[in-house]
Amino acid sequence: MTVDAGGTVALIFLLATAVAAADEPKSVVTVRPLESQENPRLEQLALTVQNTLLLTLQMLGRYRVVPPDAIDWERVTSVAEASERNAIDNIITGSIAQNDDGVVIELSVFNRLEGDFVLSEKGLAESIFDFFTVTDELTIRLLEGFTREHIAFGELLLTNHGEDRDYTVMVDSRKAGVNLTRLPQVLEGDHRISIVEELGSMNRVILRRDFRVIENETTTIDFAVPLIYPEEAFELNMLDREIATGWHDALAAFRIYAAFDSAQAHLQALPGGRDLSLLTAKYDRRRSDYENLAPSAGTVTPEAVIEIDGDLTDWQDIQPLVTDETRGTRVGPAGTDITQGFLARDEKYLYMRMDFADGGLVRKKEMIYELVI
Neighbour order of strands in the sheet with 350-356: 322-323, 338-345, 350-356
- Assign residue 148 a region (left: φ > 0; alpha: ψ between -120 and 50; beta: otherwise): left
Nearest to 123 by CA among 95, 92, 151: 95
- Using alpha carbons, list the distances in angstroms from residue 268 to 255, 272, 274, 280, 339: 20, 11, 10, 9, 44
Cα distances from 124 to residues 101, 119, 146, in angstroms, run 8, 18, 21
How far, in Å, CA of 240 to CA of 226, rounded? 19
Buried b (16+ CB within 10 A) or exposed e, 251-274: bbbbebbebbebbbebbeebeeeb
Note the pLDDT of residue 327. Answer: 57
Rounded CA gap, 238 and 255, in Å?
A: 13
Rounded CA-CA distance 153/12 in Å is: 10
Give the integer Cα–Cα distance in Å for 14 and 18. 12
Q: Judge contact between 204 and 32, C-beta under 8 A.
A: no
Is 153-226 the same fold as 1-151?
A: no
Cα–Cα distance, 159 to 206 (Å, whole number): 12
Polymer length in residues for the chain: 373
Rounded distance, CA 192 to CA 194, Å?
7
Answer left, alpha or beta for residue 231, where phi above 0 means left and psi between -120 and 50 means alpha.
Answer: alpha
Q: Are 148 and 25 in contact (CB under 8 A)?
A: no
CATH of domain 153-226: 2.60.40.1120
Q: What is the pLDDT along the chain (373 residues), one digit of tens a residue?
A: 444 444 444 444 444 444 444 456 789 999 999 998 888 889 988 988 888 788 778 777 788 999 999 999 999 999 999 999 999 999 999 999 999 899 999 999 999 999 999 999 999 998 877 887 888 788 888 888 877 777 777 889 999 999 999 999 998 888 888 999 998 878 788 899 999 998 877 889 999 999 999 988 999 999 999 999 998 899 999 999 999 988 877 667 778 888 999 999 999 888 877 889 989 999 999 988 888 774 444 456 678 888 888 888 888 888 887 777 665 555 666 666 778 888 888 888 888 888 877 666 655 555 454 544 4
What are the two backbone dihedrals, phi and then psi, of residue 138, each rounded to the nearest 5 degrees? -65, -45
What gap in Å lies between CA 358 and CA 85, rounded to an integer? 106
Ordered by start, the domain boundaries in the chain are 1-151, 153-226, 230-298, 301-373
Domain at 1-151, CATH from 3.90.1720.10, 3.40.50.10070, 1.10.10.10, 3.40.640.10: 3.40.50.10070
For residue 127, list its beta bridge partners. none
- The whole-number pLDDT of residue 361 equals 60
Is there a contact between 90 and 119 (Cβ–Cβ < 8 Å)?
no
